[in-house]
Amino acid sequence: MSNAPLMPKATAVWLVENTSLTFDQIAEFCKLHPLEVKGIADGEVAAGIRGHDPITSGQLSREEIGKGEANPDHRLHLYVSKVKLPEIKRARGPRYTPLSRRQDRPNAILWLLRNHPELKDAQIMRLVGTTKTTLKAIRERTHWNSAALSPMDPVTLGLCSQIDLDFEVARAAKDRPAHIEDHGQTLAPAEYTTQPHYEPAATEEDVFGKRAPVAPPEDDHFDADRVFGRLKDLDIEE
């Protein structure tokens, strides 16, 4: 099956009026229902549509129509042009904003600056169709109407679609460096806490506001004479 021609109903009107093709042939070529083509022939469908000649538009040849008229089983084939037209590339520039919405652009810019500070200037300019001068003036509060501006969602204002906004926000988030979340103080490794002269980083001064005296390190050498000498000095009653 071939593709449908341009203006299929108008083409069907012309074929009904100017050829002896069957309803099935016209319906298949124009991608319509046979009953719809019959309604066109009866004047019940497409009454106000002017017929479109597929021969002059280069979609069908006279030879192809002649084959279809001679053989009711012949299926018409849409003529495909062999000339490939170059694809027109759209120049990317600021988004066009209707005149009725242009007064809302400063409010939309202010909303984007407050709610999505990660967006780059080029992204904001692309979303609301503004200039870098206006964007800079609103950011630095040098805009002539800064006192009266109020942040408003550009999607609600109709300046951009939610899909475009989400796309730009996702792109800006992808470009940001990874944020390392700080979970606060954690326990020190065991190889440090088990050392003889280990002192924790968060001291009592940090917790209670004053520093507690730190006991001097104990001597690993045990002097038995000194200990028992002290016991002799004590007056112990038997």
Which of 151, 174, 197 delimits the end of a domain? Answer: 174
Higher pLDDT, 4 or 157: 157
Q: Per the domain annotation, does 106 fall within a domain?
A: yes
Would you place residue 140 in the very low, low, confident or very high pLDDT band (cuts 50, 70, 90)?
Answer: very high
First to last CA, the chain: 123
Is 144 part of any domain?
yes
Residue 98, pLDDT > 80, answer no
Decide which of 174, 209, 230 is a domain's last residue.
174
Instruction: Give the range with max mean pLDDT: 9-13, 76-80, 85-89, 189-193.
Output: 9-13
Rounded CA gap, 194 and 29, in Å? Answer: 88
Which positions ≥6 away from 113 have C-beta within 8 Å? 124, 138, 139
Question: Per the domain annotation, does 92 fall within a domain?
Answer: no
Split into its structural domains, the chain has a count of 2
Token output for 39: 């309604």
- pTM, two decimals, is 0.38
pLDDT of 41 higher than 90: no
Does any domain span residue 81? no
Domain that holds residue 25: 8-70
139 CB neighbour count, 10 Å cutoff: 14
Q: Do residues 26 and 16 make contact, with C-beta atoms less than 8 angstroms apart? A: yes
Average pLDDT score over residue span 45-68: 86
Answer whether residue 232 is part of any domain: no
Given a cut of 90, is residue 87 above it in pLDDT? no
Structural domain contains residue 90: no
Least confident of 99-113, 124-138, 208-222: 208-222
Does one domain contain both 65 and 107?
Answer: no
Average pLDDT rounded to a whole number, residues 35-53: 85
What percent of the chain is modeled with pLDDT above 90? Answer: 24
Cα distances from 38 to residues 17, 23, 44, 50, 146, in angstroms, run 12, 6, 9, 17, 66
Q: Is residue 190 part of a domain?
A: no
Q: What per-residue confidence (pLDDT) applies to 208?
A: 47
Residues 105 and 159 in one domain: yes
- Whether residue 50 is contained in a domain is answered as yes
